[in-house]
Structure 1
Amino acid sequence: MPKAQETVLEIDLGALAHNYRTIRAKIPKDVKFMAVIKAYAYGNDSVSVAQKLQELGADYFAVAYIQEGVRLREAGISIPIMIFHPQKENFGQLIDHRLEPSLYSEKLLKEFTAFAEEKKQKDYPVHVKFNTGMNRLGFTEKEVESIFGIFSKTSAIKLQSAFSHLAASEDWKERDFTLGQISNFRKIAARLLEEFNYEPLLHICNTSAIFNYPEAAFSMVRSGIGLYGFGNDKEIDKHLKPVGTLKTLISQIQQLEPGDTVGYNRTYKAERPSKIATLPLGYADGIHRKYGNDKIGVFVNEQYAPIVGNVCMDIIMIDVTDIDCKEGDEVVIFGGPQHATKFAEAGDTISYELITGVSQRVTRKIISE
C-alpha cells in the first residue's frame, strides 16, 4: 500500500465487508439488516460506505438528519433510508427523496401526518420509536392506543417499523436492565399487533445486542459501530476489522539540547539530546489537546513515538529520538498497529467520539475490497 503523502483517513472497504458478513452471520437469514451510517458513516465516508453495503445486501440504512439522507439519494443509493431525527422544516425534502422519518412524539406524528396528507401521499412509510428506558426520545407503551388512533384516521402514512434503543447492551452488569428493556418492547410489539391488522418491522438490537442478546433480533437489527470495526468488547473486537486508519507524515525534525522546550506553554522539556518530529494535524483534525504530553503516542516505521507538548490546532510534536526516521516518513495515528479504542481511552473517551471527530478537512482515501 502506498505511503501517505498528506494527512489521510484510509477507508478499507474490505474490512467493512468483513464486518458486515461477520455481524450478518449472527442473525437469522430472514431478519433484515439496518446499517447505521450517520455522521459520515461514523467519521468515514457515507457515500462509499453506503454503496458498498448496498452491494453487499443491506436492507435498510439509517442516518440522523434529513440532509444526510439527501446526500445518499443524490449519490444513487436506492434502498430505504430511515431518518432518526427529522425536522419539520425539512419534511418537503424528506418526501421528495423518499426518506422515512422516525416519529417519536405525538406532536411530530401529527405534524408529519398533516404534511403527508397535504402532499396527497398514500401509505408513506414511517417508523415509530418507543422509549423503553433510554429516556431520550420515544413514545411509551401507554401511548400505543393513541398512536393507532392517528394511524387509523389517515391513509397518508403507514407504520413501516416500531423500534426502541438499548441503553447498555454491552455492559453485563446491566443485564437485568437490558432484559427489562427487551421485555418492555415485546409488550409494546404485542399491543401493536393487536391494534394494527399487519405486522410492522420490529427492531431493538444494536451491535452489542446482536452479539449478546441474539434472541431479541425480532424482524430487523441495527448495526452502526460494529460495521466500522468496534464491538464495545475486546472479545467481539477480535472478530472485527477497523475500517479507518488515520495516517500523516513527518513535516520536520528538530534537534533539541537538554533543557530545550517544545510547543505552547513549554510543557515538554528535553532531558537529553532529542529528536522531535512535527506532524501536520492537530485538534482541528480531531486529535484533541487531551492527547498531548505523553498521554498516548503514534507509530513511525512501526515504532512507538509519544506525543510531547501540547497538541496544537494544526500540528502535533512527537519524540523520535530512538527511531530511525526522516522528514516525509509515514506516521500512523490510529488503525494498523494501534487500535482506535486504545487511543481513545488515553483521552478518557470512547472510540465513537474519536472516529466521528476526524475533521472533514482530512482527505478520505478509499481502499477497495
Structure 2
Amino acid sequence: MPKAEETVLEIDLGNLAHNYRFLRSKIDEGVKFMSVVKAHAYGSDSVVIAKKLEELGTDYFAVAYVEEGIRLRKHGITKPILVLHPQIIHFEEIIEHCLEPNLYSKRTLSSFISIAEKLNQKDYPIHIKLNTGLNRLGFDQPEVNNVHNLIQDSKAVKIASVFSHLAASEDWKERDFTVGQIDLFRKMAWELIENLDYEPLLHICNTSGVINYPKAAFSMVRTGIGLYGYGNDENVDPELKPIGTLKTIISQIREIKPGDTVGYNRVFKTENISRIATLPIGHADGINRIYGKQKTGVYINKQFAPIVGNVCMDIIMIDVTGIECEEGDEVIVFGGPQHPVQFAKAAGTISYELITGIQRRVSRKVIPE
C-alpha cells in the first residue's frame, strides 16, 4: 500500500492543460480566452496555475480582489488582469501594478476616473459590468447613457471590455431566462459602445455558457471552474479532469470496543469491535464539519472508509474496520477513486465550496504536464 508523509494537495498541470484545450475547442478561432484564477486559483495555487495558463496561451486573467492581482504581478505574470470586485481604496494600487478594474456603479466609475486623471493616466483600460439578471454587481439598463457620458468626458480611461454574468447557464430549465440575459446584454452593450470610436471586447459566457451557449461567446469568454475540472453537468464532467487530488496519511489506528464513542460530543458509538484511524486534516484545512457523521468518507487502498464522529479542527476519524491498512498509509480524500463532486454532494454542498476551502497550510505538490 502506498505510504505518505503528510497532508498534500497534488496539482496536476497536465489535467489543467487538457481542460484549457477542451474549453478552447468549444469557441471559434479569434475569440479571446479569459482564465479566472481568483481564490488561489480555486483552491490550488494561483501563481503556478497562471504561469501554466500563460504558457498555454490564455489572453487574459481575472481575479476577485486587488491583492490577488498584485501577487500575480510580483511573480512575473504579464498578461492583462481584470479585477472583478475592486474597492475604491485600492484604485491607486490597481494603476501602480497595471491591473484593470471592473467598474460596476456610478460611484466606482466616477472615483476611478478621478484617480486616473489625478495620476495623469491616458486611455487606462477599464471594464464595465452590466447587470442582466444576476443582480449582484453591474449597471442597470437605465444607467447605460450615464456610463457613456462619463467615459466620453474623460481622456484618462478607455473601455477594454463590457461584460455581464449568466445566472443559470448550467440549468436547461432556465434556458429562456439565459437567452433573455444574452439578448439584454447584446442590447445594453450596443447602447454603450455604438458611439465609441473603438470596439471593446464583449463577454458574458462562463464555463457553462461556453459549453451550452457557444454562439454567445461574443469576442471573449471567461472560464473558471471548467479549468479546474468541473463542468456543472454530469454529461460534461467526464470530458474534464480535476486538477487537484487531496491526500493525507494515517496517523494512528486503534481498536474500539462495542459501545465506545469516538470524538467530540460522543456522536459516534460503535456497535461492534471497530478499527478507527485518525488523519491529520480537519476543518481548519477545509474539510468542514458538514463532512462528518458518516455523510461521506475517504479511500484507502481503493476501499471506502466513512468519516465518523464530528470533524475536529485538525483531525478526522475514519472507520477502517475490515480494511487492510496500517499507520503511515496513504489516504485519498478526493481525486482518484472519488470525484470531488461526489465527496461534496454527499455532504450537501458543491465542488466550488470544497476545493476553494482547502487552506494554505495544506502543502501543495505540483505535477508537471
Q: Does 1:54 align with 2:54?
A: yes
Separation of aligned partners in 2, 1:187 and 1:3: 59
Check the 8 A contact 1:305/1:320 in 2, yes or no: yes
Q: Does 1:7 align with 2:35?
A: no
Q: Does 1:364 align with 2:335?
A: no
The CA RMSD measured in Å over matched residues stands at 0.9
Q: Tell me what 1:234 maps to.
A: 234
Q: Tell me what 2:140 maps to.
A: 140
Q: How does 1:178-189 map to 2 (within 5 A)?
A: 178-189=178-189
Check the 8 A contact 1:182/1:216 in 2, yes or no: yes
Check the 8 A contact 2:244/2:335 in 1, yes or no: yes
Q: Tell me what 2:64 maps to.
A: 64
Q: Does 1:354 align with 2:354?
A: yes
AA of the residue aligned to 1:252? Q
AA of the residue aligned to 1:101? P
Greater Cα offset, 195-204 or 155-164: 195-204
Check the 8 A contact 2:147/2:192 in 1, yes or no: no
Q: Tell me what 2:265 maps to.
A: 265
Q: Tell me what 1:91 maps to.
A: 91
Q: Tell me what 2:319 maps to.
A: 319
Q: Tell me what 1:274 maps to.
A: 274
Q: Report the CA distance between 1:219 and its aligned residue.
A: 0.1
Q: How many residues align?
A: 368
Separation of aligned partners in 2, 1:51 and 1:367: 14
1:276-298: CA deviations, max 9, x gaps?
A: 00000111111111111110110
Separation of aligned partners in 1, 2:338 and 2:190: 46
Q: Does 1:216 align with 2:212?
A: no
Q: Does 1:192 align with 2:185?
A: no
1:197-244: CA deviations, max 9, x gaps?
A: 221000000000100000100000000000000000011101000001
Q: Does 1:40 align with 2:40?
A: yes
Give unpaired runs (5+ residues) of structure 1: none
- Partner of 1:197, secondary structure, is coil
Separation of aligned partners in 2, 1:88 and 1:36: 22
Separation of aligned partners in 2, 1:349 and 1:294: 15
Q: Tell me what 2:308 maps to.
A: 308
Check the 8 A contact 1:145/1:195 in 2, yes or no: no
Separation of aligned partners in 2, 1:3 and 1:91: 49
Separation of aligned partners in 2, 1:68 and 1:3: 35
Q: Tell me what 1:131 maps to.
A: 131
Q: Does 1:252 align with 2:260?
A: no
AA of the residue aligned to 2:313? M
Separation of aligned partners in 2, 1:4 and 1:86: 41
Check the 8 A contact 1:252/1:277 in 2, yes or no: yes
Separation of aligned partners in 2, 1:4 and 1:58: 35
Separation of aligned partners in 1, 2:195 and 2:271: 74
- Partner of 2:93, secondary structure, is helix
Give unpaired runs (5+ residues) of structure 2: none
Check the 8 A contact 2:123/2:155 in 1, yes or no: yes
Separation of aligned partners in 1, 2:96 and 2:190: 33
Q: Report the CA distance between 1:192 and its aligned residue.
A: 2.5
Normalised TM-score (structure 1): 0.98
Q: Which runs of 4+ in 1 moved over 3 A?
A: none
AA of the residue aligned to 2:305? A
Separation of aligned partners in 1, 2:35 and 2:178: 22
Q: Tell me what 1:25 maps to.
A: 25
- Partner of 2:311, secondary structure, is coil
Q: How much identity, in percent, do the aligned residues show? A: 65
